Structure 1
Amino acid sequence: MASPYLTVSLEEILSISPDMRARFREKITPRRVPPEARTVAFAEVEEVADQFLSQVACDGNPMVPGGVVVPDPYEVYLRDIAPSRDAAQLTVAKESHALRSIVGLVDNKEYVEAIVDPGCQVIAMSENVCHALALAYDPSIRLNMQSANGEVDKSLGLVRNVPFAVADIVLYLQIHVIRNAAYDMLLGRPFDVLTKSVVKNYENEEQTITICCPNTGQLATVPTIVRGHARFRGRTAA
């Protein structure tokens, strides 16, 4: 009786205290949560997660102060549509097909639209253009052309030193001939390296490309055009 401490078990406390027993029962009894409350809670968790992800880079490290975040338009579209609407399927161009082109005079015969594609390792031309311009090619030099979707086309051969005139600059290109190509001509990485090309884009979606003659150092700025359909498809040599 003289001890200041008394050990009492939880069972004994609940048996002698109705108030404590009621509070304990309230805490441990399962409850049914309304669907609306679960939705609100999940939305709050998503909002916190989005705020966190918007402040870190892809590797999880904080973004550099002053950096500019370029939003993805499709992600913005998905966030803005109503929950009851089905999202439209987005179709994009193949990575191996550029969206801008320039026009050049090929072999001093005809102007041909050429897609500017720095992602391609070679310069290519469709079989239809090659035959229409009566260009001879070496069939012993063939390579596999693989697009971004995994499709592989084998080239027919190599045309050497084809004159390609843009403005007052004349370039002599080594061009691989491709059967059933989706383009007339494709200017790959060798064109960019040879001409030291500089591409400039504008807010109105216009684009220019500045090229340099490797021999004279002459510069020319050429406006690019929206890529059109392959004009020579279906044509045969005259």
Structure 2
Amino acid sequence: MESLPFALKDPPDPVAVFFQEFGDAREGDDFYVAKESSSIRGLNALIGERAVHCVADSGCSIVAMSNATSNALGLSFDPKRRIPLQSANGKMDGTLGVAKDVPFWFGNIISFLQVHIVEPPAYDVLLGRPFEILTQARIQNFLSSDQHYTLTDPNTDKVVTIPTIPRELPRFRKEDGRDRRNYQVER
């Protein structure tokens, strides 16, 4: 067996190489570092006649909707098509069923999604990988923390670019499914 070249046997220290390259660079001197955290982003979609905030989540294997949102939109779902779900914290829950071919409008394109109904999530709709695959989503992030989704309708080849917005609290109430934005407390 041949001996490895010196560079592979004893690789340079990446921190030392960095400081040789950049010296005493500090954030703000055309030198960038990642933020400690960044807000979750979402897209607004039109489902039926209602605007619904959808949290974008590339790490989710399904498209999910809260039961309250489903009720407010009048969506029917098949309760025999349930699947188990595991949250990021390891908690196991199950879906209530699946609403088939739900039309979501994003700008001028329509996507027919299979939506798992769940209870009780911290969102109205969660757009997971099936949404990204169907729309061939291209996600562009900017140093300003802005983010754009470019979506393609595979049935019409229409393309739209939509800026995301910071995540909103769920709009629909569990108790009665009413849209929180239109709900006024009587005094």
TM-score of the superposition, structure 2-length normalised? Answer: 0.75
Aligned to 1:105: 46
Over 2 Å off, 4+ runs: 51-56, 70-74
How many equivalent pairs are there? 156
Deviations 1:133-156 (A, max 9, x none): 111110111112212111222100
Is 1:114 the counterpart of 2:54? The answer is yes
Is 1:156 the counterpart of 2:96? The answer is yes
Aligned to 1:37: none
- Rounded to whole Å, the distance in 1 between the matches of 2:152 and 2:34 is 34
- Rounded to whole Å, the distance in 2 between the matches of 1:237 and 1:226 is 23
SS in 2 for 1:203: coil
Bigger mean CA offset, 160-169 vs 141-150: 141-150
- Rounded to whole Å, the distance in 2 between the matches of 1:195 and 1:180 is 27
Superposed, 1:25-174 pairs within 5 Å as 52=13, 54=15, 99-106=40-47, 108-174=48-114
TM-score of the superposition, structure 1-length normalised? Answer: 0.60
- Rounded to whole Å, the distance in 2 between the matches of 1:210 and 1:73 is 24
SS in 2 for 1:54: helix
Larger Rg: 1
Deviations 1:83-140 (A, max 9, x none): xxxxxxxxx79xxxx800000011x221100011111011000010011111111011
Aligned to 2:153: 213
Q: Which amino acid aligns with 2:95?
A: S
Deviation at 1:233, TM superposition (A): 3.1
Higher relative contact order, structure no. (Cα contacts within 8 Å, ≥ 6 residues apart): 2
Deviation at 1:72, TM superposition (A): 6.1
| Residues 104, 165 of structure 1: 8 Å contact kept | yes
> Which structure has more helix as a fraction of its residues?
1
Q: Which amino acid aligns with 1:207?
A: Q
- Rounded to whole Å, the distance in 2 between the matches of 1:175 and 1:148 is 19
Q: Which amino acid aligns with 2:84?
A: N
Q: Which amino acid aligns with 1:187?
A: L
- Rounded to whole Å, the distance in 2 between the matches of 1:222 and 1:126 is 23
Distance of aligned partners of 1:219 and 1:148 in 2 relative to their CA distance in 1, 3 Å threshold:
same
> Which structure has more strand as a fraction of its residues?
2
| Residues 132, 235 of structure 1: 8 Å contact kept | no
Aligned to 1:230: 170
Distance of aligned partners of 1:209 and 1:73 in 2 relative to their CA distance in 1, 3 Å threshold:
closer
- Rounded to whole Å, the distance in 2 between the matches of 1:55 and 1:159 is 55
Q: Which amino acid aligns with 2:145?
A: E
Deviation at 1:197, TM superposition (A): 0.6
Q: Which amino acid aligns with 2:176?
A: T
Alignment RMSD, CA only?
Answer: 2.6
| Structure 2: runs of 5+ lacking an equivalent | 1-11, 22-31, 179-187
Aligned to 2:129: 189
Deviation at 1:159, TM superposition (A): 0.2
Q: Percent identity?
A: 36
Deviation at 1:173, TM superposition (A): 0.7
Q: Which amino acid aligns with 2:69?
A: V
Distance of aligned partners of 1:216 and 1:152 in 2 relative to their CA distance in 1, 3 Å threshold:
same
